[in-house]
């Protein structure tokens, strides 16, 4: 009697579990491949990946790290929303509450701020990696554009984010940022009015940036990241086509695939990227890719915790419209821009950024050189790499100058 | 009377009907976007007025420069009369400070001379001079919506 009840209960639980996860804990390579295919969250992985894509130096894992950082930012951001009040002065007081009153509030705020800084850096490095390995070449041209949009959204999220504490940094960043927007030809003044929700910075301004930061921009990022990863999944990672000996898997030698993924009735031939794959170079994504990803995720989260426990996120004095700090400096990732704006607001704040974004978007269509995809600093694309590296170097020099060599009234100072 | 499946009684065929649908969809999407943009423009602004009094002329000693920080305004009382110069840098809106000769901006290094003309740096235009007047009760009135030239003086 009891045995029957236990057996039946166990049967139900298994049935319920299977209805959710479809496959029990996978014990064979075939089961693991099936999980990758049938699970929504793992479906962004292929069942098999090429061994070259697993090498750390192929991608440096920068895309994954960006995604992990965005996840951390979402979780910590949601938590912070419970204590944050988007109203001038109240916003600053809620920052002080998070620092001194709320248990673990300061750690959550630190994690949110440091993840944001890290995400700007990592997304930028990801862009550099993709350029230096020529990975924007066909068929990945459009995904490069999605990636450029994600870089811009990352910067916009950072900017709107450090406005919210309503400290001096926030207030003067809004002042300068909205004034730069006003330099846009034709629509500048209207754009500034829409951003501020009026002629002067006030509660409407803070509320608008709050909605941008917490709803509009993250929503766009989620959509574009999904598209970005989905296309990476469909195109596969760029890399040289190599022929190697069959891989020994735990389930035996993996047989060469003869399957093509063409839609028989609709297209004439299978998709090129699938056909070009060498099955001998592939291993199962679970465990080879999945465990590496979990390890990188763990490393990022642990590193963020250590940094957040050791270093507090900056918070300046409460916003004071009557007193501009001297010098009033933006966070490091905008200091190159600030250095440019110091020469001309229109050229540095509108023209150069627009030109850079336009060049980045046009790049995969301008660069018709088919060689060097998936290879670091390929010798066939010496010109492209030289130009890009020079522009990155200029950006870094401007940032270093803005960070270390500028003092009161933005005058030149020596840091030593 | 018979109606063929792809031709209605008034003679519109499927293609025209579909086209009308596409046009209607386009119109409604455009209308939605336009009304959303209009929605973002507030009709009422709870902002401080552009015209305000700053006190009696006697509050400003002769030959002095007073900085009214909450109005972001320098008030000069010279032998020729009163004038008011904005402390808002014309470059990107930071507060300039008086220092050395003229005014200095802490954000991007703009420098202005004593009358607010650009001396160095990225500022495109001189600091704004606001119109001053006397109210019926003899108080100084500033109108930030009316700018004047650097030869403006209010004699009291």
- What does each of the 416 residues of chain A score in pLDDT, given as a tens digit? 889 999 999 999 988 988 887 777 888 888 888 888 888 888 888 888 888 888 888 889 999 999 999 999 999 999 999 999 999 999 999 999 999 999 999 999 999 999 999 999 999 999 999 999 999 988 899 999 999 999 999 999 999 999 999 999 999 999 999 999 999 999 999 999 999 999 999 999 999 999 999 999 999 999 999 999 999 988 877 776 555 555 555 554 455 555 555 555 555 554 444 444 566 678 888 888 999 999 999 999 999 999 999 999 999 999 998 888 888 888 899 999 999 998 888 898 899 999 999 999 999 999 888 888 888 898 889 999 999 999 999 999 999 999 999 988 888 888 87
Determine the Cα–Cα distance for residues A319 and A166; give it in Å rounded to an integer.
6
Determine the Cα–Cα distance for residues A316 and A165; give it in Å rounded to an integer.
9
pTM assigned to the model: 0.88
What is the residue whose two structure tokens read 């990801």? A126
Out of B47, B107, B124, name the one closest to residue A410 (CB).
B107
Out of B45, B107, B124, name the one closest to residue A328 (CB).
B107
User: What ipTM was assigned to the predicted interfaces of this complex?
Assistant: 0.84
- Asked whether A164 and A210 are in contact (CB, 8 A), the reply is yes
CB contacts of A343 in chain B (<8 Å) are 122
Chain A within 8 Å of B33 (Cβ-Cβ)? no
Determine the Cα–Cα distance for residues A315 and A334; give it in Å rounded to an integer.
17
* Angle (CA) A378 A381 A387, round 5°: 120
Q: Which residue of B has its CA nearest to A208?
A: B40
Chain A within 8 Å of B55 (Cβ-Cβ)? no
Half-sphere exposure in the Cβ direction for A354 (13 Å, CA): 12
Determine the Cα–Cα distance for residues A71 and A124; give it in Å rounded to an integer.
18
Buried b / exposed e along B130-154 (16+ C-beta atoms within 10 A): bbbebeeeeebbbbbeeebeeebeb
Whether B92 sits inside 8 A of A176 (CB atoms) is yes
Q: Which residues of chain A are at the B interface, by a Cβ-Cβ cutoff of 8 Å?
A: 172, 175-176, 178-180, 193-194, 197-200, 202, 204, 321-328, 338, 341-345, 349, 408-411
Residues 6+ away with beta carbon under 8 Å from B29:
none
Helix (H, G, I), strand (E, B) or coil at B102: coil
Distances (CA, A) of A71 to A66, A116, A138, B66: 9, 11, 29, 52
Structure tokens at B57: 């002329």
Chain A within 8 Å of B42 (Cβ-Cβ)? yes
Determine the Cα–Cα distance for residues A183 and A61; give it in Å rounded to an integer.
38
Helix (H, G, I), strand (E, B) or coil at A132: helix
Out of B41, B107, B122, name the one closest to residue A324 (CB).
B107
CB contacts of A325 in chain B (<8 Å) are 106
Whether A409 sits inside 8 A of B47 (CB atoms) is no
CB contacts of A411 in chain B (<8 Å) are 109
Q: Between A332-341 and A382-404, two packed helices, what is the crossing angle to 10 degrees? A: 90
CB contacts of B122 in chain A (<8 Å) are 341-345
């Amino acid at each position: 009697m009891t045995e029957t009840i236990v057996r039946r209960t166990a049967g139900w639980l298994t049935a319920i579990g299977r209805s959710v996860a479809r496959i029990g804990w996978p014990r064979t390579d075939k089961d693991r491949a099936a999980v990758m295919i049938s699970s929504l969250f793992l479906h962004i992985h292929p069942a098999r990946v090429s061994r070259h894509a697993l090498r750390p130096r192929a991608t440096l894992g920068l895309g994954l790290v960006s995604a992990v950082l965005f996840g951390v930012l979402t979780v910590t951001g949601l938590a912070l929303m419970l204590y944050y009040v988007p109203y001038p002065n109240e916003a600053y007081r809620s920052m002080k509450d998070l620092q001194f009153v709320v248990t673990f509030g300061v750690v959550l705020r630190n994690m949110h701020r440091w993840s944001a800084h890290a995400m700007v850096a990592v997304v930028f490095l990801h862009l550099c990696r993709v350029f230096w390995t020529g990975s924007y070449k066909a068929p990945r041209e459009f995904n490069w554009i999605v990636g450029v949009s994600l870089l811009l959204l990352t910067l916009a999220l950072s900017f709107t984010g450090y406005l919210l504490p309503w400290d001096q940094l926030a207030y003067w960043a809004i002042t300068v940022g909205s004034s730069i927007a006003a330099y846009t030809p034709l629509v500048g003044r209207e754009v500034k009015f829409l951003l501020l929700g009026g002629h002067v910075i006030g509660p409407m301004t803070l509320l608008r940036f709050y909605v941008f930061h917490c709803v509009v921009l993250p929503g766009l990022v989620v959509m574009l990241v999904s598209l970005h990863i989905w296309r990476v999944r469909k195109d596969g990672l760029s890399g040289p086509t190599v022929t190697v000996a069959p891989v020994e898997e735990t389930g035996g030698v993996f047989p060469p695939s003869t399957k093509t993924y063409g839609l028989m009735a609709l297209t004439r031939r299978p998709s090129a990227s699938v056909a070009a794959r060498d099955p001998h170079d592939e291993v199962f994504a679970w465990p080879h890719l999945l465990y590496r990803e979990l390890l990188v995720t763990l490393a990022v989260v642990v590193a963020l915790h250590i940094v957040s426990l050791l270093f507090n996120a900056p918070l300046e004095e409460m916003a004071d419209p009557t007193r501009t700090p001297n010098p009033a400096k933006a966070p490091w990732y905008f200091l190159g821009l600030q250095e440019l704006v110091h020469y001309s607001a229109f050229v540095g704040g509108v023209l150069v950024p627009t030109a850079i974004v336009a060049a980045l978007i046009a790049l995969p269509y301008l660069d018709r050189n088919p060689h060097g995809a998936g290879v670091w600093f390929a010798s066939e694309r010496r010109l492209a790499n030289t130009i890009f590296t020079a522009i990155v170097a200029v950006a870094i020099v401007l940032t270093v100058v803005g960070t270390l060599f500028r003092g009161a009234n933005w005058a030149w100072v020596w840091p030593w | 009377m018979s109606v063929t499946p792809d031709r209605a009684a008034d003679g519109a065929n499927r293609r025209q009907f579909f086209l009308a649908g596409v046009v209607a969809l386009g119109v409604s999407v455009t209308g939605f976007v336009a009304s959303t943009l209009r929605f973002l423009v507030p009709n009422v602004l709870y902002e401080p007025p552009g015209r305000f009094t700053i006190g009696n002329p006697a509050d400003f000693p002769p030959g002095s420069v007073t900085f009214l920080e909450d109005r972001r305004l320098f008030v000069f009382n010279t032998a020729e009369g009163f004038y008011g110069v904005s402390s808002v840098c014309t470059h990107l809106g930071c507060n300039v400070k008086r220092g050395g000769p003229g005014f200095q901006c802490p954000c991007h290094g703009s420098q202005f001379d004593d009358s607010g003309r650009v001396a160095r740096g990225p500022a495109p235009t001189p600091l704004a001079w606001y119109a001053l007047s006397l109210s019926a009760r003899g108080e100084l009135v500033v109108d930030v919506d009316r700018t004047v030239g650097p030869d403006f003086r209010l004699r009291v």
